[in-house]
């Protein structure tokens, strides 16, 4: 830190601007969180955020300034101790060049805040000055953001210590407002759709990112920050605009390299608190000459040099020499016999896995022939040759074929390659692939029938484990999307088509990034090459441009935690109320909202973001939509059930509630909530029916909050979020709990209110939510399908069946995972683990502060963008769908009906047409090996209605889900925009799921739900009510 100070001080005067940036970024991050949550495309907010983030600013800053910052930041951060506070201080110092900061760093946080404010002001000024080219400022937006941000921040600040945090928040809000005037307008075309999400008040963590030149970049991020936040920070540091080709990797608990999902919280992806990352090329552009900027090519070169030197990219002796010679030319310029440096460098540098003297001589010899070539030209030549290598851009995965023979699966821009040893034995071009899926450790591709073939065939491969299978699947989905699609697959459609994980590529496609790149209008940035750094000889003489903003934020973070939760809660509640009241607005926004191609935060989402669970909820809800379409009723996440289980924890009711919520939010959590869950498993196994609103489930002693929660919901939700953050507190007991869940009987009621142009359909479905939630996640992890060609939607029914099976499996697996909390290394799997962790945390923290949770929510909200379509969750009716949120990550596909505990033996479907009157009963029986469960579904249908849910004639334009969760109740709202014969129809479907451990009085619950729904939306009609009841018959499970 001290070292940092020195450099910073030097830079101070000029750096004031830069310093300001970090602050802005912080603020931005706060705002962004909201935005992120609303992944929709709210450009305005995004712009604001961007501006705040400082990217825009960075552009304006003189390169030399940037350099200094970057340098100073990098080194100091590294040194900075892992502790949050110290880090924060450091960061501030870094950010704010002023030496003052350093001194203060150790001092009270408040001081830091003040500084930051000052800085912000400065920034604002600087921006105004510097950014002549800035886009039209969006003051209005800014104002909004500012208003929101404080609230949000408060909410966010979970971890405790509210007073300070609150102050900070307020200050920040002010700052933001100030800033907003000047800077917000800037929009960068170059930013990918994914937004950075951050909150200032959260705890800060130091991230170490290994850059392509081998240097380490450290920055602080909030614990809750999403992957994209860190990624953007790094890109800023690198001054990289064409960032869509790149990504961050981390090593999971199994020492396997994983891509950091930009839309998810970092903390939930990495295992073990190891905040180590690497900046890497994720998508190798087939033709690097089409890249717009030399700096992008340079970074690609760095990656390829490493790939070649490590042997990942095999090439011949001659090619090694040729590539090495271009590297020399790029780094050192023309060969000069007098200067021995290149020779020395050659000795040190690694050009090939088995480099020898002969090769070095050849490299030198070739180097001589490149005389006169500029570094950029040498890079271009390097790439021209490297791109022709057969393994260029091929991501290899170990697998076995159907006969158990070891093979390698290579994912690349063109498709999937199958290698045996070094030989290519098969190839499946993307256009040939109809579907990509995985199930457990099996990876399948469905192949389009050839000219002479009549039937499509499916090829299966075995991977080491399901984590590997999921990882491969994700890579395939991403590569296909990036290279083959014009725009990312709209979430909605994808959902309909997909089972299991709803993971989709959330970034920009190559086509989009090329378009964006073509709009880059800045002078070619200077950048420092590695050799210059190492050897202190700079060819270009251009310093590296990098701005680190993260540091500034760090300083604040500790305080943030302290901020009062109470405030946050209040705000959230208010927001919730607003949400409820503003359905019509939502509709409009939806209508206006552009198609979800690039996942960007919607207004909805933004609004929703306030609630922690949003993102998750959205996903879940989406799922629910799918389900509805399929005419299948699934209760995915009913936290309530768990809560009931939580009874054991009665002693600490609040805590349990939080935990429950958290669990729900975490998806996995539902089961996961540690001790409670455990209890639940046992208790639930018996039978759990929770009908939160109407009748508090008897079992839920602790939960006791039926409707009350609804309004409190917001608070709860926030808590949930916190829980996730808290998750670190993991308690062993939790894990076991998850396992128990499956056995438990759960009943969830989902009320779906669909408003089709004013018409509201109410569906109440009682489904075993608890298990579902878990299962859904598990499923996603275990299975997933992806239809590269966007084939016709699969038949829902089939999906259901599959889903059920999947769920069963997943559940089983999930249980396993739960038992071994750390075991799941894969991101998807991680969810479950996370959930567990979250639960644990919740327990601990819950007792202390519920409000704390809220902060977490914000981050979650940000995440949703992946699904893009994900609708913001509405907290209106019933609080807390938090549980779902977690599920969302898993991206539940088709969640099998009802909680579907595998064990379901009897299923009863009761359909009542005419709102309450008629009852139809359908009995379906499914036998699942393990547990016997009864499932009852009661559907109330208004005579008028159409089956909105099912096959819709029109085209689904957008679907958004708003979910709020209470302990026992989950409300999901889907807004669907449909084009029917030129008419656009907007339908809002609201699904309320009530879950409980004990028997629920359906009528009462329904009546209550409908009543509430009508109160909220007088102009809507209830078209359908479904009650789904699932009960375990016996304890066989044990």
Partner 1 sequence: MAGLMAGFGHYTHAVVRGIPSSLAKEALRSCQAEVDVAKARREHDAYVEVLRTRLGLEVVELPADESLPDCVFVEDAAVVCGDTALITRPGAESRRRETEAMKGALKDLNLNIVEMTDENATLDGGDVLFTGREFFVGLSKRTNQRGAEILADAFKDYAVSTVPVLEGLHLKTFCSMGGPGLIVIGSSEPAQKTLKIMQQMSDHRYDKLTVPDDLAANCVYMNLPNKGHVLMHCTPEQYPESVKVFEKLKDHMLIPVSNLEKVKVDGGLTCCSMLINKKANN
- Min dist. Cβ of residue 800 to partner 1 (A): 35
| C-beta closer to partner 1: residue 13 or 384 | 384
| C-beta closer to partner 1: residue 209 or 413 | 413
- Min dist. Cβ of residue 433 to partner 1 (A): 12
* Binding segment toward partner 1, per CB under 8 A, in 239-247, 417-425, 690-698, 1024-1032: 417-425
- Min dist. Cβ of residue 790 to partner 1 (A): 22
Contact map string, positions 927 to 966, toward partner 1, x by CB under 8 A: ----------------------------------------
| C-beta closer to partner 1: residue 342 or 415 | 415
- Min dist. Cβ of residue 390 to partner 1 (A): 4
Q: Does 405 bind partner 1 (CB under 8 A)?
A: no
- Min dist. Cβ of residue 389 to partner 1 (A): 6
| C-beta closer to partner 1: residue 35 or 359 | 359
Q: How far apart are CA 952 and CA 846, in angstroms?
A: 44
Beta-strand runs (E) in 724-862: 747-749, 753-756, 761-765, 783-786
Among 257, 388, 398, 1011, binds partner 1 (CB under 8 A): 388
Q: How far apart are CA 496 and CA 473, in angstroms?
A: 18
Q: Does 318 bind partner 1 (CB under 8 A)?
A: yes
Q: Does 390 bind partner 1 (CB under 8 A)?
A: yes
Number of residues this chain uses to bind partner 1 (CB under 8 A)? 28
Among 234, 301, 302, 322, binds partner 1 (CB under 8 A): 322
Say if strands 783-786 and 433-439 run parallel, antiparallel, or are unpaired: antiparallel
Among 425, 591, 917, 923, binds partner 1 (CB under 8 A): 425
Residues 1020, 760: contact at Cβ < 8 Å? yes
- Min dist. Cβ of residue 665 to partner 1 (A): 44
Residues 779, 799: contact at Cβ < 8 Å? no
Among 421, 454, 541, 944, binds partner 1 (CB under 8 A): 421
Contact map string, positions 324 to 363, toward partner 1, x by CB under 8 A: ----------------------------------------
* Binding segment toward partner 1, per CB under 8 A, in 41-49, 119-127, 317-325, 685-693: 317-325
* Binding segment toward partner 1, per CB under 8 A, in 102-110, 388-396, 488-496, 499-507: 388-396
DSSP annotation of 265 reads: B
* Binding segment toward partner 1, per CB under 8 A, in 316-324, 724-732, 759-767, 886-894: 316-324
Under rule CB under 8 A, which residues in 285-314 are in contact with partner 1? Answer: 314
DSSP annotation of 487 reads: S
Among 108, 429, 519, 591, binds partner 1 (CB under 8 A): 429
Among 177, 309, 366, 737, binds partner 1 (CB under 8 A): 366
Q: Does 427 bind partner 1 (CB under 8 A)?
A: yes
* Binding segment toward partner 1, per CB under 8 A, in 416-424, 482-490, 879-887, 980-988: 416-424
Residues 818, 734: contact at Cβ < 8 Å? yes
DSSP annotation of 191 reads: S
* Binding segment toward partner 1, per CB under 8 A, in 418-426, 525-533, 679-687, 844-852: 418-426
Who contacts 689 (Cβ-Cβ below 8 Å, separation ≥6)? 697, 699, 745, 746, 747, 766, 995, 996, 997, 998, 999, 1000, 1029, 1031
Classify burial at 676, counting beta carbons within 10 Å of its beta carbon; exposed 0-12, middle 13-18, buried 19 or more: buried
Q: Does 458 bind partner 1 (CB under 8 A)?
A: no
E strand or H helix at 128, and its extent? Answer: helix 109-130
Q: How far apart are CA 322 and CA 386, in angstroms?
A: 10
Q: Does 316 bind partner 1 (CB under 8 A)?
A: yes
Q: Does 381 bind partner 1 (CB under 8 A)?
A: yes
Among 98, 105, 270, 315, binds partner 1 (CB under 8 A): 315
Residues 476, 461: contact at Cβ < 8 Å? no
Q: Does 423 bind partner 1 (CB under 8 A)?
A: yes
| C-beta closer to partner 1: residue 317 or 581 | 317
Residues 485, 810: contact at Cβ < 8 Å? no
Hey, is 958 helix, strand or coil? strand
DSSP track, 335-395: --TT--HHHHHHHHS--STT--HHHHHHHHHHHHTTTT--HHHHHHHHHHHHTTSTTTT-E
| Closest to 59 (Cα-Cα) out of 31, 21, 27 | 21
* Binding segment toward partner 1, per CB under 8 A, in 154-162, 382-390, 814-822, 886-894: 382-390
Hey, is 641 helix, strand or coil? helix
- Min dist. Cβ of residue 500 to partner 1 (A): 28
DSSP annotation of 727 reads: G
CB atoms within 10 A of CB 797: 11
Measured CA angle at 834 (ends 564, 672), to 5 deg = 90
Under rule CB under 8 A, which residues in 776-805 are in contact with partner 1? Answer: none
* Binding segment toward partner 1, per CB under 8 A, in 9-17, 133-141, 424-432, 865-873: 424-432
Find the Cα–Cα–Cα–Cα dihedral 651, 657, 659, 662, rounded to 10°.
Answer: 180
Among 13, 129, 272, 317, binds partner 1 (CB under 8 A): 317
Residues 863, 595: contact at Cβ < 8 Å? no
Q: Give me Rg for the CA atoms of the chain.
A: 27
| C-beta closer to partner 1: residue 316 or 921 | 316
Q: Does 721 bind partner 1 (CB under 8 A)?
A: no
Phi and psi at residue 225, to the nearest 5°: -60, 150
Q: How far apart are CA 40 and CA 231, in angstroms?
A: 20
- Min dist. Cβ of residue 323 to partner 1 (A): 9
DSSP annotation of 1010 reads: H
Under rule CB under 8 A, which residues in 959-978 are in contact with partner 1? Answer: none
* Binding segment toward partner 1, per CB under 8 A, in 129-137, 425-433, 572-580, 969-977: 425-433
Q: Does 377 bind partner 1 (CB under 8 A)?
A: no
CA atoms within 13 A on the CB side of 967: 38
Residues 445, 458: contact at Cβ < 8 Å? yes
| C-beta closer to partner 1: residue 426 or 925 | 426
Measured CA angle at 636 (ends 907, 648), to 5 deg = 95
Measured CA angle at 569 (ends 194, 159), to 5 deg = 70
* Binding segment toward partner 1, per CB under 8 A, in 182-190, 427-435, 530-538, 540-548: 427-435
Q: How far apart are CA 372 and CA 370, in angstroms?
A: 6
Among 377, 414, 566, 984, binds partner 1 (CB under 8 A): 414
Q: How far apart are CA 431 and CA 480, in angstroms?
A: 10
Long-range contacts of 340-347 (CB under 8 A, 24+ apart): 341/535, 341/537, 342/367, 345/531, 345/534, 345/535
| C-beta closer to partner 1: residue 450 or 791 | 450
| Closest to 887 (Cα-Cα) out of 948, 961, 823, 951 | 961
Q: Does 664 bind partner 1 (CB under 8 A)?
A: no
Beta-strand runs (E) in 190-308: 204-210, 216-222, 246-251, 257-259, 276-281
| C-beta closer to partner 1: residue 320 or 1017 | 320
Q: Residues interacting with partner 1, by CB under 8 A?
A: 314-319, 322, 366, 369, 381, 384-385, 388-391, 412, 414, 420-427, 429, 432
């Amino acid at each position: 830190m001290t070292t940092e100070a020195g450099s910073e001080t030097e830079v101070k005067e000029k750096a004031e601007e830069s310093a300001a940036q970090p602050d802005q970024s912080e603020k931005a991050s706060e705002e962004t969180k909201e935005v992120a949550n609303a992944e929709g495309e709210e450009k305005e907010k995004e712009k604001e955020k961007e501006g705040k983030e400082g990217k825009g600013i960075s552009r304006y800053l003189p390169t030399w300034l940037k350099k200094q910052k970057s340098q100073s930041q990098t080194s100091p951060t590294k040194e900075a101790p892992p502790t949050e506070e110290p880090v924060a201080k450091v960061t501030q110092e870094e950010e704010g060049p002023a030496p003052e900061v350093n001194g203060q760093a150790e001092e009270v946080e408040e001081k830091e805040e003040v500084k930051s404010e000052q800085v912000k002001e400065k920034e604002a000024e600087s921006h105004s000055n510097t950014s002549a080219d800035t886009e039209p400022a969006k003051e209005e937006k800014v104002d909004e953001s500012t208003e929101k941000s404080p609230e949000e921040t408060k909410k966010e600040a979970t971890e405790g210590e509210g007073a300070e945090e609150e102050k900070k928040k307020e200050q920040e809000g002010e700052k933001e407002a100030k800033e907003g005037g000047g800077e917000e307008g800037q929009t960068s075309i170059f930013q990918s759709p994914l937004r950075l999400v951050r909150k200032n008040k959260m705890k800060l963590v130091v991230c170490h990112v290994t850059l392509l030149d081998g240097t380490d970049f450290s920055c602080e991020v909030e614990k809750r920050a999403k992957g994209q936040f860190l990624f953007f920070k790094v890109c800023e540091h690198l001054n990289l605009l064409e960032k869509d080709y790149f990504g961050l990797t981390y090593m999971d608990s199994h020492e396997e390299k994983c891509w950091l999902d930009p839309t998810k919280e970092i903390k939930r992806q990495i295992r073990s608190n190891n905040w180590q990352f690497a900046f890497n090329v994720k998508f190798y552009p087939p033709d690097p000459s089409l890249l717009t900027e030399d700096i992008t090519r340079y970074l690609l070169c760095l990656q390829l040099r490493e790939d070649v030197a490590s042997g990942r990219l095999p090439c011949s002796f001659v090619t090694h020499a040729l590539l090495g010679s271009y590297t020399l030319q790029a780094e050192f310029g023309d060969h000069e016999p007098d200067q021995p440096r290149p020779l020395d460098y050659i000795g040190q540098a690694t050009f090939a896995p088995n480099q020898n003297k002969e090769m070095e001589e050849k490299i030198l010899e070739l180097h001589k022939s490149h005389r006169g070539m500029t570094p950029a030209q040498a890079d271009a030549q390097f790439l021209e040759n490297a791109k022709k290598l057969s393994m260029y851009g091929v991501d290899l995965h170990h697998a076995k074929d159907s006969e158990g023979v070891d093979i390698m699966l290579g994912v690349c821009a063109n498709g999937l390659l199958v290698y045996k040893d070094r030989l290519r034995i098969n190839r499946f071009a993307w256009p040939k692939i109809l579907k990509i899926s995985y199930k457990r450790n099996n990876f399948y591709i469905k192949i389009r029938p050839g000219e002479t073939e009549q039937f499509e065939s499916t090829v299966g491969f075995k991977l080491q484990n399901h984590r590997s299978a999921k990882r491969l699947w994700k890579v395939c989905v991403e590569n296909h999307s990036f290279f083959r699609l014009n725009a990312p697959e709209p979430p909605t459609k994808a959902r309909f088509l997909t089972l299991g994980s709803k993971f989709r590529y959330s970034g920009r496609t190559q086509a989009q990034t090329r378009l964006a790149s073509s709009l880059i209008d800045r002078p070619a940035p200077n950048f420092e090459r590695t050799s210059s750094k190492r050897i202190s000889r700079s060819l270009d003489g251009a310093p590296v441009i990098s701005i680190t903003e993260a540091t500034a934020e760090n300083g604040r973070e500790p305080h943030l935690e302290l901020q009062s939760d109470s405030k946050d809660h209040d705000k959230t509640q208010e927001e919730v109320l607003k949400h409820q009241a503003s359905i019509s607005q939502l509709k409009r926004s939806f209508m206006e909202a552009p198609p979800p191609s690039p996942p960007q935060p919607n207004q909805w989402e933004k609004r929703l973001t306030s609630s922690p669970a949003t993102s998750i909820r959205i996903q879940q809800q989406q799922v629910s939509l799918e389900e509805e379409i399929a005419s299948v009723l699934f209760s995915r996440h009913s936290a309530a059930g768990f809560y009931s289980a939580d009874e054991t924890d009665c002693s600490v009711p609040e805590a349990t509630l939080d935990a429950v919520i958290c669990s729900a939010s975490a998806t996995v959590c539902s089961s996961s909530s540690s001790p409670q869950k455990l209890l639940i498993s046992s208790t639930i196994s018996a039978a759990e029916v929770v009908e939160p609103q109407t009748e508090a489930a008897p079992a839920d002693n602790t939960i006791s909050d039926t409707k009350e929660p609804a309004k409190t919901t917001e608070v709860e939700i926030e808590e949930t979020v916190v829980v996730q953050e808290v998750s670190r507190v993991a308690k062993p007991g939790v894990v076991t709990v998850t396992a128990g869940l499956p056995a438990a009987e759960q009943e969830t009621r989902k009320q779906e209110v669909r408003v089709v142009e004013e018409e509201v359909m109410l569906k109440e479905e009682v489904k075993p939510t608890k298990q579902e939630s878990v299962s859904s996640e598990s499923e996603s992890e275990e299975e997933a399908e992806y239809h590269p060609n966007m084939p016709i939607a699969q038949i829902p029914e089939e999906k259901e069946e599959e889903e059920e099976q999947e769920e069963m499996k997943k559940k089983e697996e999930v249980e396993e995972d739960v038992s071994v909390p750390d075991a799941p290394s894969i991101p998807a799997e991680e969810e479950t683990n996370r959930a567990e962790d979250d639960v644990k945390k919740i327990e601990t923290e819950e007792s202390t502060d519920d409000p704390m949770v809220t902060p977490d929510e914000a981050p979650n909200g940000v995440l949703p963008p992946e699904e893009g379509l994900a609708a913001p969750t509405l907290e209106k009716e019933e609080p807390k769908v938090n549980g779902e949120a977690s599920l969302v990550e898993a991206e539940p596909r088709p969640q099998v009906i009802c909680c579907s505990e595998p064990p379901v033996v009897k299923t009863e479907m009761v359909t009542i047409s005419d709102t309450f009157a008629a009852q139809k009963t359908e009995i379906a029986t499914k036998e699942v090996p393990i547990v016997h469960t009864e499932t009852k579904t009661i559907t109330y249908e208004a005579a008028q209605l159409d089956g909105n849910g099912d096959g819709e004639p029109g085209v689904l334009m957008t679907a958004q889900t708003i979910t709020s969760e209470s302990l026992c109740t989950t409300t999901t709202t889907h807004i669907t925009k449909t084009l029917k014969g030129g008419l656009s129809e907007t339908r809002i479907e609201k699904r309320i799921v009530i879950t409980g451990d004990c028997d629920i009085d359906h009528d009462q619950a329904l009546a209550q739900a409908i009543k509430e729904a009508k109160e909220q939306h007088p102009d809507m009609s209830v078209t359908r009510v479904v009650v789904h009841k699932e009960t375990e018959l016996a304890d066989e499970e044990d």
